[in-house]
Structure 1
Amino acid sequence: MGKTLFWKVALGLIFANQVFGATDLQVGTLSEGSCWYENKEALRIASFNDKSAYSGSRTQIIEEFEALITDPVQKVEHTKINDIDLSLHCGGYGASLVAKVNTDSNSFCIWAKFEKGILSLRSLGSLTSDGKNPNGLCDGHKWGEFILGANSEELITELQTAKWSSMIKAVTLVSNKVYKVVLQKDYEFREQEVIDQLQENFVGKNLVRYIEFNDYRHPIGEFIHLK
């Protein structure tokens, strides 16, 4: 099914591009022809590097993204997508449909690949509302944790005391003086709240080098926003 769908979509897009490509901005290619797309009543994509394809209406796309978020593996309390911003990313690895989504409870960045004609998860990360890179692609970060650069073991010892136990579940060493801080379940999606408290408590003590979200990393490539 996968290869049959790929060639069916690919040949259709090549034909559409040859006929309408010069005048229709909804038909085009990315990464020097590695990916072909048509964004009309349905979104059709063919990726030559990984021989994958996708075809679906906006309603279908939203339903498939909702299914990815509510997969029991993700352990996300979720109701419904209220808003979605789509982009197509293409590179040497293949293609991804990237979505910034707002739900009733949280905002997410989702990277999805195409497997047998449906969306399959590459990464699902939390999004903050700080306006970071508003016009570019999102990456998202792993909720319930962040990365901490420490200047002293004194800081790590302090974070493992009862004072912080209601927020912090574990502190594990990643590399020299760099730690992953894992939060209690009640503080998932509240990473910034804990970070703010750490900064408030340890400001001026020269114990903290930096604190940052544990962002997902994605391959380089070319992308286009899908209106």
Structure 2
Amino acid sequence: MCGRFDRHRPVVEFGDVIDGLDFSDGDPAAPSYNVAPSQRATVACRTDSGVRLLDLTWGLVPSWLKREGLSKPINARAETLSDKPMFRDAFRGTRCLVLCDGYYEWRSEKTGGKQAYYITTVDNDPFVMAGIWAQNTNFDRTTIESFCVITTEANDSCREVHHRMPLILSCDKHKEWLSNRRLDSDTVAAVLKPSCQEMKLRPVSRYVNAPANNGPRCIASLQDQENV
């Protein structure tokens, strides 16, 4: 599961992460330490002019949807992407990379309540999560551009917090994922394989629980905040 994430670095710092990324138009969405569902975020997509950055709403509205009121999923399971109608078309032709510095997960504690954890790469390097996106023009002639994050089984470094985690794609898989062509079964199996990327976890304060809260305090370690 991925229900909240952080992308505070400027987009130019993702130039070494995504090969061929064109960020000449600047950052389409404001950086945020606490991106929540229904908020806007920056994703990389392949267009006719190359790999560009788009500002999309988190919560997928499929291109074929013609009535409001249905759920807007923020996550899609890698294991069922090609089968479920909600995700199938986007998976076949409009895939994206979600720019990310880290994500949050909440674990139920024995003492009651839930503890938030901030999860990053071991070296605190920026990374990307696999996503799918869609463009819907069926509502009042308003174009809705949205995305969701692909999840997979958690690896050993994250399993203690949650059994699911975002699908973190290594650089060698970006080209295939952004190709916008239908992937064959062998490629799908290789690309959607659970990440072996070792991650680092640290508990953070309840400040991040409120989607309206933002800023460096969201990712500050719980110990540092208790010592203030």
Q: Normalized per residue, which structure has more strand?
A: 1
The structure with the largest alpha-carbon Rg is 1
Scaled by the length of structure 1, what TM-score is found? 0.26
Scaled by the length of structure 2, what TM-score is found? 0.26
Select the structure with the greater relative contact order (CA < 8 A; seq sep ≥ 6).
2
